[in-house]
Structure 1
Amino acid sequence: MPVFNLFSKRQKQLRGETVDIYFYDRLPDELRVQVVHIIRDTIGENYDFSTNPYNPYKSIHETLCREYGLFTLSTGKYREGDEESVLNFLLQTPDIEKAIDTIELFFQFIKNTIDGNNLYKQFFKVKLNPIDAISELNYRFKEHGFGYQFEHEMIRVDSTYIHSEVVKPTISLLNKRKFAGANEEYLKAHEHYRHRRNKECLTECLKAFESTMKIICIEKGWPYNETDPAKKLIQICFQNGLVPTFTQNQFTSLQNLLESGIPPLRNKLGGHGQGQTPTPVDDKTTRYGLNLTGSNIIFLIEQSNIN
């Protein structure tokens, strides 16, 4: 199913009603409902389970009950069917980890059993294919700032190398009063990325990168012009020995990276007129720019020794 940028979403964005980069200790009701929609559309409809070999709701319900030491997930006075029990459990349980258990089991079934299984489609009326279902799930997580994604299993975003080694340290370094402007721009870049506003993400990446260098210049007393572009600011940093002289040669490749990485990436894809046909910026390119920005900001701030 397509994801729509509704009027209400656009208004929230304009008002700045956005979440932090990622959270892990709550699962919004709106997100739970969206996940249920994805599950139902992907598993499909077939209520005569006696005539087919698949009953995913029963299988997942029984698995969770066995693992949790329960006879049923139902909490009401009347015993619910397997589908109602397991989906209501996902919608209502206050235990975030158990809700994630449920999502993981459903999407492992979707990936391992439904994907490429033509026989399954003979028994169920499916509206959403597994690849699109997993893609939408991860998009909804990102849209809400929920810090998980589904690969072969559910993983925390901060358990990935890039997030733990680049994103979090960058935010930590920028979370100082003097870097407030750069921090705001870097957080905006992540917000744009979550909502697939890729060109805007690259633009904020460049702003954060330039702001960081300008702050270093101010703190170090290095003269620069407010209108200096990233390439000029990079030159000022290197000319003033931000990289120690005895390591200058080994950082030649880094200087090339700094000069040819962020600015041209933004200039070629995000910062110039695009003519009659809009120029797309894909998620992979955007993610690369976002992570490259973080890596360069970490390097510059650590080399500057600004407290």
Structure 2
Amino acid sequence: MPLINLFSRRKRQAQKTGSDVYQYDDIPITVRVQFVQIVRECIGEFYEQGYVASPSVPLYRDMVRIVRKELGVFILPPSQEYDGHNDAQEFFNWFLNEKRIEYVLDGLELGFHAMQSVKDDPYRFRNMDNPLTPPDEAMAEMNARLIEAGIGYQFHGGQIIRMDSQAVHSTVVVPALTLLAEKQYASAEKEFLAAHSAYRSKDYETCLVECNKAFESVLKIIGGKRGWAIGPTDTAKKMLDAAYASGFIEPALQNEFTALRSLLETAVPVMRNKMAGHGAGAVARNVPRHFASLQLHQTAALILFLAEHHAANP
């Protein structure tokens, strides 16, 4: 759902510098309020009276239960045990007041999951109380609100992922995630999303390891379907040798693809070997964020190339 092109929005856009830079340490109150409004419009209001309850009740209840357990509390602050709140009010009041960004992102992710549940089971939620916005439109609007506010997070593939560049994100990362959502790439999708989760949590060493696993998984999946001479424990280089030997890249073009082969063989596996994946020894290893960011984007680009080339050459 495109955002309504109001005067205030046109003015903000005209004043932008064009810089593709995002912030990651705060979700402003205006965006939090918009999130509350969007979730309510999508999954409906909380209603429970005796044995009668709206279909959204279990969604709100799950959201509250998960956050309570994560925070180790019986009631989410600032709500009190006997103040007459319901689960929706407790969740939203907490979300609007939470100071720690990692938990705010947890709340954001849970709200997206609730909207995704409505999409995945429309029959169950057909009698929602006052829903106004279909889930696809609601989730697209929330992602658009985050971008407009200069917040570098988006919901894709079932989780909140960090976005360093809108251009790279929209042209490389999102298409790669779309391809990985195909059933045949399920294992690689899980690993690539794990890399994004580690990146968001600032566990950059794990991010590198998971990127390499996702890259190798895509090679194994494609190689298995094409009958390459590869084994279950082969390295990325051995699998790429088999890919070239099998003609996956046409012989007539292989000279033109020398740089591509070098990139495929070294970009993801070598960075992983140098920066992660082995014991650190006596000195703790510190993987810089920009290294992990490069690895994520390289992995997405190479996965996208391999999967699209496989699909284009049956």
| TM bracket (short chain) | 0.5 to 0.7
Percent sequence identity is 34
Q: Distance in 1 between matches of 2:146 and 2:230?
A: 51
Which of 151, 154, 165 matches 2:171?
Answer: 165
- Stretches of structure 2 lacking an aligned partner (at least 5 in a row): 1-24, 26-65, 71-90, 102-140
Which of 185, 188, 204 matches 2:191?
Answer: 185
In structure 1, the residue matched to 2:236 is 230
Cα contact 1:158–1:164 (8 A) shared by 2: no
In structure 2, the residue matched to 1:206 is 212
- Stretches of structure 1 lacking an aligned partner (at least 5 in a row): 13-26, 38-94, 108-136, 149-156
In structure 2, the residue matched to 1:248 is 254
Which of 233, 241, 245 matches 1:239?
Answer: 245
Q: Distance in 2 between matches of 1:261 and 1:254?
A: 10
Cα contact 1:262–1:289 (8 A) shared by 2: yes
Radius of gyration: which is bigger? 1
In structure 2, the residue matched to 1:218 is 224
Q: 1:68-79 to 2 correspondence within 5 Å?
A: none
Change (3 A) 1:28 1:227: farther
Q: What's the offset of the Cα at 1:30?
A: 5.2
* TM-score normalised by the chain length of structure 1: 0.52
Q: What's the offset of the Cα at 1:241?
A: 1.4
* Residue 33 in structure 1 maps to residue 97 in structure 2: yes
Q: 1:53-202 to 2 correspondence within 5 Å?
A: 157=163, 160-202=166-208
* TM-score normalised by the chain length of structure 2: 0.51
Cα deviations by residue, 1:213-238 (Å, 9 ceiling, x for unpaired) = 00111111112111101111111112
Cα contact 2:161–2:200 (8 A) shared by 1: no
In structure 1, the residue matched to 2:274 is 268
Query: Which structure 1 residue ranges, 4+ long, deviate > 2 Å from structure 2?
Result: 27-37, 144-148
Q: What's the offset of the Cα at 1:32?
A: 4.0
Q: What letter matches 2:97 in structure 1?
A: V
Bigger mean CA offset, 194-203 vs 245-254: 245-254
Change (3 A) 1:267 1:158: closer
Q: Distance in 1 between matches of 2:303 and 2:175?
A: 10
Change (3 A) 1:173 1:275: same
Q: Distance in 1 between matches of 2:280 and 2:246?
A: 37
Q: Secondary structure at 2:297's aligned position in 1?
A: helix
Cα contact 2:168–2:297 (8 A) shared by 1: yes
Cα deviations by residue, 1:119-145 (Å, 9 ceiling, x for unpaired) = xxxxxxxxxxxxxxxxxx869x9xx96
Change (3 A) 1:189 1:243: same
Let me know the Cα RMSD of the aligned residues: 3.9
Q: What's the offset of the Cα at 1:31?
A: 5.5
Q: What letter matches 1:234 in structure 2?
A: L
Cα deviations by residue, 1:162-204 (Å, 9 ceiling, x for unpaired) = 1111111111111111111111111111111111111111111
Aligned residues: 188
Change (3 A) 1:281 1:299: same
Cα deviations by residue, 1:228-265 (Å, 9 ceiling, x for unpaired) = 01111111112211112222122100111111111110
Change (3 A) 1:300 1:30: farther
Q: Distance in 1 between matches of 2:100 and 2:233?
A: 50
